[in-house]
Amino acid sequence: MLRRLVHCALCWTLSMAGVAGLYILAGAEFLGLAQLIVYVGAVAILIVFAILLTQRRELLSIERLTAGSWVTGVAVAGLVAGCLWIGLAYTRGLGGAGGASGGPALETRELGELLMGRYVVAFEVAGLVLTVALIGAVILALPFEQPREASGRRADRPAAGEGWDARRQGGQGA
Amino acid sequence: MMSWIREWLWLIPLAPLAAAGLLALTPRAGRRRAAWLGIGSLSVATVLSWAAFFGAWPGAGGAGREVNFTWLTFGRTPLELGWVLDPLTGAMLAMVSTVALLIFVYSLGDMRADPNFTRFFCFLSFFAGSMLGLVMANSLLWLFMCWELVGLASYLLIGFWFEKPAAAAAAKKAFLVTRIGDLGLLLGLIYLYTETGTLLCYDEGRGCLEAAALAGLVERVSVGGITVATAISLLIFCGAIGKSGQVPLHVWLPDAMEGPTPVSALIHAATMVAAGVFLVARVYPLMDADVAGEPGLSAALQGVAWVGAVTAVMAAAIAAAQFDLKRILAYSTVSQLGYMMMALGVGGYAVGMFHLIAHAFFKALLFLGAGSAIHGCHHERDIRRMGGLRRWMPVTFAAHAVGMMALAGVPLFFCGFWSKDGILHAAWGWPVSRLPFLLGLAGVGLTAFYMMRQMAMVYGGEYRGGQLKKEIHESPAVMRVPMVILAVAVVLLSVVGTPAWPWLEEFLEGREAAVRAGDLFEHETLWIMGASALVMGAGLVAGWRLYGRRPQRRADAPDPLRMAQPAVFSLLEQRLRFDEVYEATVVRSAAWAAEAWDWLEREVWQGLMQWAGYGALAAGWLSRLSDEYLVNPAFDGGCEGVRGCGRGMSGWHGGRLRIYLRVVAAGMAAMAVWLTWG
Amino acid sequence: MITAHHYLAVAAMLFGIGLAGALTRRNSILVLMSIELMLNAANLNLVAFGRQAGWEQGSQAALWVMCAIAIAAAESGVGLALILAIYRHRRSAHLDESPPLKG
Amino acid sequence: MNMEGILALTGWGGLRWVGPVELFERGPVWLRDWAVGWLPEGAKVWAEGLIPAVAVLAVFGLLFGLATVAERKLLGRIQNRPGPNRVGPYGWLQFAADGVKMLTKEDVVPRSADRVLHFLAPIVMLAPVALSLAVIPYGRDLVAADPRCGLLFFFAVGSAAEVAAFMAGWSSRNKYSLLGAMRAIAQMISYELPLVLSALTVVMMAGSLSLVEIVEAQSGYWWGVIPRWHVMTPWGLAGLLLFMAAAAAASNRAPFDLPEGESEIIGGFMTEYSGFKYAIFFMGEYFGMFAVSGLAVTLFLGGWQAPLAVLEAAPSYGWFFLKLGVMIAWFIWVRGTLPRLRVDHLLNFGWKYLLPLGALNLLVAMVWRGLGGWAFPGAGAVRWLACLAMIGLPAILWGRLLMRSRGWGPRVYRYAS
């Protein structure tokens, strides 16, 4: 078991790269490289940044698990994985010729035509979601600013999260 | 080589129209930008127009002169628009853009002091762009749209000085009178569309001006025993009558002189009035369809010829008794338009167009000269208060004189002579009647007479205007240069239309021209040339004897002609009382109808509306009641129920993320188990 | 020879690991990482089936993987921003200490 | 032996007379085929991959050494001093001496460092960069690997460098290292976007992600003289400028070398590295520079294509390395000329200037393609100028606007007054 969160994150990155490798092995080169760019290039960096920004020094290592959560968690996960495994074991007809690693590869052009043609709505929606997520993430991660005298425009806007804080305290008081 | 211009022809009207759009957004102070935009865009259009002109050269273009495209689709019916580049369009484009460009440059000087300079150029560009669009139209619908845009632009420009009541009234009059003709045109187009199912002129054999459609139109018979083709032609000709100021709808044209001089020049030379003649020329195959083979025999064209001939001589007579410098020219325009119509009517299609182009140049020149004189005399327009200007304004005088000689038809060196001679020749050959020829000949004499009168009173003799004598000045170079260019063009243009080398006619008919010097000396040609020169000379001499030999000394001295023929003169001075007659009949009856409707509105409809209102109020009251006692309680109850449900459901939520996660996982597990064993 | 079975088996394991992580860990970043693992397991399945169908027929699978990757990127971005925001208030990124979502 | 040709081995067993042009052009390929031919059947597959890899690493290793010396000499020339001139002829062997020094230095690892990551970081830095060199076509048929998504591969493996920077910075347990790593990552991420955007323009116009095909798309000449390189189009020109600006930042080169700004944070994420590990970082950085320069050459400057038809006699890889040399010289020149930016200026420049312009450039490329149908005389010039205006005017105006609104401007140096 890895004790350090950063190691976890890096190993996670490695496993994402491994998944990308599996994609490429399956002939989906474009997908694999996209996975690499997104997960290794962006999400992994986000995660390590989040780790660096949120973990106090003593928390950089992971807490020990309580027995209860350990048992329930692993049990449920094992159950689900086991069910999947069993289902997989009883499935026939997946090892055919199409499954050979030498099969036809994914044509990037075809994928692009699908994205820009029949599924253009899905593509646009994905773009919209990304944009909204970008803006949302920026707004969420903006540092809370106390009202300053210097900038009048900022002062009349309630700082992000202020209302939430107040409500929380009110809830505790009640 | 030049076939690209056919695809890009739309740029020609677009350039001025775009400039107009930009100018509409330009602030008042942007005078320099306005001038640059207006003149620059029109220069682009001019260059392209000349390219189009050469592109329309016989044998230059490839197959297919027209470019059509679908504009709108109603159900399964496509509405197609398009443009065409044939010799007619090419020549008109070159003429309109060139003349308009010179007038634009001229207006730089003429309108220099006007505070609304920017607006003026905006409208001017709009005007020129609309006309260029009209000329290239292949679809009669497009033509009609541009036609109306031209009408709108003329309204805006005639009423440019709308603070002057006379200008506002003139604009309104021009707009309304031409609308009367346009109604006929619109009806004609609708009729044409119902009969042929297309408004495209040329569409590879399917257009409404092509043989297949025309044959159908000639066969069917309309109201009153005339063929459909004739009926449509006459309706379309109504539009031309209105736009080109033919009798009886000519009354707006002289009044249109209230606009700035460049506008008058533009309206009279290049754009507005030419549109009517152009329309007739454009639908000439339809007009002519009735009697195949020999041109000028169909019922429609006979009508055109008679209207033209009457207009030609009547307007010339009126012009002889006017005192407003620009108004004389206006009636002269009406008269010349009559000549063009007459030419078209008697079958001289190419000659009529030649006269249109020639007239555009020399009438523009005359207007610019008149404007220059007016400009120099501090906006004095009454020729009785002018006189002797040749001393102060030599260039204007020379240019004006060239224009005058071209208009009067001084032989050999001026295009007006050749074009008018061609018209007379065509009229002589008309088998229906010789009367138009005689009327035309009379018109020639009258034209020479009133032009001589004008020249003598404006440039000859002594200045009669009073105090302002010292301040009379020649116009600036920016006004002089366009005049000189036009004067040179007027002389040069005479080369391409002589019977010896009728280049323009052959061009319009799509043939290569050849020099046939012998035609010049045919008996008939020589005879008519001699006759017209003789009549013209008589007119000039009469004018000189009455006005030139003993110039008047004072502004309020009576007119020599009035002394000779007081009754005729006063009738002519009052423009044959057309306006008064219209006032007594059309306007009066319209006012009466308006009053009748007013009474109906007040007494009948209002009461009905009031009762309808009460009914609506009652319905509203009922509706409110049902809302308050029926809908609202039901809705509130529903909301309360939903809220209660929500409150109950929210009890399920602990608000702990980890617990949620576990619930999700448990659900997932359950689902996996069910899918595996279930 | 590697068949779709192998892919699906790997995906099942990946999913199990992710699920276990998501259930047992209290650190929100770790939970997020685990969820990403599960998501990737699903994507892996899609890719396996796409290959099984032959990519000419299965390119729609790739399309959905692309969309899923895009959504995952958006999700992780917002998620981490949320963690950051919560951390600023609570000085903690632990789920148990996160603010109750109950209004 | 006559002047027309020499006897050459063309692949395994093939012997024929070839001209010098063909010899130089095909030589490397023949050499590889000949070497592979000796091997048993099972090993051939591996050798076909390994031999180019070794060749690329050898060539670029040597280039790395020469580039360090060249950089120091050029910088010296710019700063009016001689630069290294002791070891070897004109100091050109300085890199060997440096290498020996680096290798023999003690490898210091801080006591509280995360030893594993500290050890792995330089490797993770160098390996992807070296991998990205594999997809660049160095000459006609001279490419180590030609995947169908070559460009994507380049950027995908390049993204591992960010992880490496983080590993180096975090594992050193040194606040300067960590700050340097954060800066480096922020900068790499910010500038990867304009980099990818400008490359995307080329992808869009060439219609392929394969770098080999992109180079082939640039073959031929307009009117027989102007090469059809993308840089000869307005969007290509703008794209190259954007690409080079972003590339300088993405490879942490001056004036964007904030991650190792020695005046502020000692050596950035490399502070705690010494000896051989440091050398590897150094090498990774140079390889990165070579890789983006090579990519710029491939995307915009026609790759290995000759600038004139008559010059096609020279071997194609010669042209490639000539252009690469020009690019490297450009990097060095910029480093010697421009002062280092401030962090906020750097990020502003990337997000507010390069990124919008990159997006606009994409649009301009579309317009360029849309206007391809113009056929009237002078259409080419009009199209060129129109597209140039579309990208050039916004670039100037937007730059001015930013300068004015932010008070950015040419630096004013105030001396003691």
- In tens, the pLDDT along D174-214 reads 888 888 888 888 888 888 889 989 998 998 888 888 888 88
B655 contact C CB<8A: yes
Nearest CA to B533 among B445, B450, B437, B415? B445
Q: Name the residue with higher pLDDT: D415 or B579.
A: B579
Q: What is the pLDDT of residues B223-280, one digit of tens each?
A: 777 888 888 988 999 999 988 888 888 888 888 888 888 888 888 777 788 888 999 8
- Any A CB within 8 A of C97 CB: no
Looking at the complex, report in whole angstroms how far the Cα of residue C25 sits from the nearest Cα belonging to chain A: 8
Look at residue D324 in the predicted model and tell me its pLDDT: 92
What is the phi-psi region of residue D9: left when phi exceeds 0, alpha when psi lies from -120 to 50, beta otherwise? beta
d(CA D49, CA D51): 6
Contact between chains at B8 and D376 (C-beta distance less than 8 A): yes
Residue D404 has pLDDT above 70, yes or no: yes
pLDDT in tens, D252-284: 887 887 777 777 777 778 888 888 888 888 888
**How confident is the model at residue B149, as a pLDDT?**
92
Among the partner-chain residues D148, D158, D166, the one whose CB lies closest to the CB of A48 is D166
Distance (Å, whole) CA B508 – CA B282: 12
- Binned at pLDDT 50, 70 and 90, residue D411 comes out as low
Nearest to D303 by CA among D317, D289, D287: D317
pLDDT attached to residue A161: 44
Q: What is the pLDDT of residues A147-157, one digit of tens each?
A: 554 444 444 44
D376, closest residue in chain B (CA to CA): B4
Tokens (6 digits) for D218: 């640039």
Is pLDDT above 80 for C82?
yes
CB contact under 8 A, A79 and B662: no
Residue A168: predicted pLDDT:
43
Domain ranges within chain C, ordered by starting residue: 4-90
The answer to whether the beta carbons of residues B336 and B440 sit under 8 Å apart is no
User: Which of A50, A82, A136 comes nearest C29 by C-beta?
Assistant: A50
Average pLDDT over residues D395-408: 78
Question: pLDDT tens digit string along B74-131?
Answer: 878 888 888 888 888 888 898 999 999 999 988 888 888 888 888 899 999 999 999 9
Give residue ranges of A with CB < 8 Å to any B CB. 72, 76-77, 79-80, 83-84, 86-87
Give C31's contacts in chain B (Cβ within 8 Å).
Answer: 661
| D375 interfaces chain B, CB cutoff of 8 Å | yes
The pLDDT of residue B64 is 57
- Asked if D219 contacts D379 with a C-beta cutoff of 8 angstroms, the reply is no
Residue linked to tokens 């040339």:
B529
- Chain-chain contact of B665 with A76 (C-beta, under 8 angstroms): yes
Contact present, B333 and B266 (Cβ < 8 Å): no
**Residues D264 and D271: beta-carbon distance below 8 Å:** no
Cis peptide before B248 (omega within 30 of 0): yes
B474, B395 contact by CB (below 8 A): yes
| Closest CA relative to residue A116, chosen from B262, C59, B604, B310 | C59
Residue contact B672–A72, C-beta within 8 A: no
Q: What is the pLDDT of residue A162?
A: 44
Q: What are the residue ranges in chain B where pLDDT is below 70?
A: 1-3, 58-64, 292-296, 466-470, 500, 512-513, 517-520, 654-656, 678
C88 phi-psi bin (left φ>0, alpha ψ -120 to 50, beta other): alpha
- What pLDDT, on a 0 to 100 scale, did the predictor assign at position B223? 76
Residue B125 pLDDT: 92
Least confident stretch, A104-118, B60-74, D202-216, D236-250: B60-74
Percent of chain B with pLDDT over 90: 14
pLDDT band at D293 (very low <50, low <70, confident <90, very high): very high
- Residues B217 and B599: their CA atoms lie apart, in Å, by 45
CATH class of the structural domain C4-90? mainly alpha
Lowest average pLDDT, out of A101-110, B378-387, B458-467, D135-144, goes to A101-110
* N residues, chain C: 103
Q: Residue A58 above 60 pLDDT?
A: no
Mean pLDDT, residues D352-358 taken together: 89
Report whether pLDDT(A165) > 70: no
Predicted confidence (pLDDT) at residue C44 exceeds the cutoff of 60: yes
Mean pLDDT of chain D: 83
Instruction: Please determine, for residue A158, whether its predicted confidence score (pLDDT) is greater than 60.
Output: no
Cβ(D110)–Cβ(D173) below 8 Å: yes
Does the ipTM surpass 0.90? no
- Rounded Cα distance between B269 and B337, Å, is 10
Q: How far is C102 from chain B, CA to nearest CA, in Å?
A: 5
Residues of B in contact with C102 (CB under 8 A): 650, 653-655
Neighbours of D262 (CB within 10 A): 12
**DSSP 8-class letter at D18:** E
SS3 assignment, position D303: coil
Cis omega (within 30 of 0) for bond into D255: yes
Q: Cβ of C71 and A126 within 8 Å?
A: yes
pLDDT value at residue B41 = 92
- pLDDT value for B611: 92
**Cβ–Cβ below 8 Å for C103 and B650:** yes
The pTM (predicted TM-score) of the whole model is 0.55
pLDDT band for position A174 (50/70/90)? very low
- The number of C-beta contacts closer than 8 angstroms across B and D is 4
Q: What is the pLDDT of residue B464?
A: 79
Question: CB atoms < 10 A from the CB of C16, how many?
Answer: 24
- Mutate: best of A66, A74, A79, partner B, most B CBs <10 A: A79
Percent of chain D with pLDDT over 70: 92
Q: Bridge partners of B227?
A: B221
Chain A residue with minimum CA distance to D152 = A33
Question: Greatest CA span in chain B, whole angstroms?
Answer: 126
Q: How confident is the model at residue A159 (pLDDT cuts 50, 70, 90)?
A: very low
**Distance of residue C36 Cα from the nearest chain B Cα, in angstroms:** 14
Q: Where are the domains of chain A?
A: 1-67, 106-144
Could you report the per-residue pLDDT of D109-119, keeping only the tens digit for each? 888 888 888 88
**D21 vs B409, more confident:** B409
> Read out DSSP for D87-110?
SSGGGTTHHHHHHHHHHHS-----
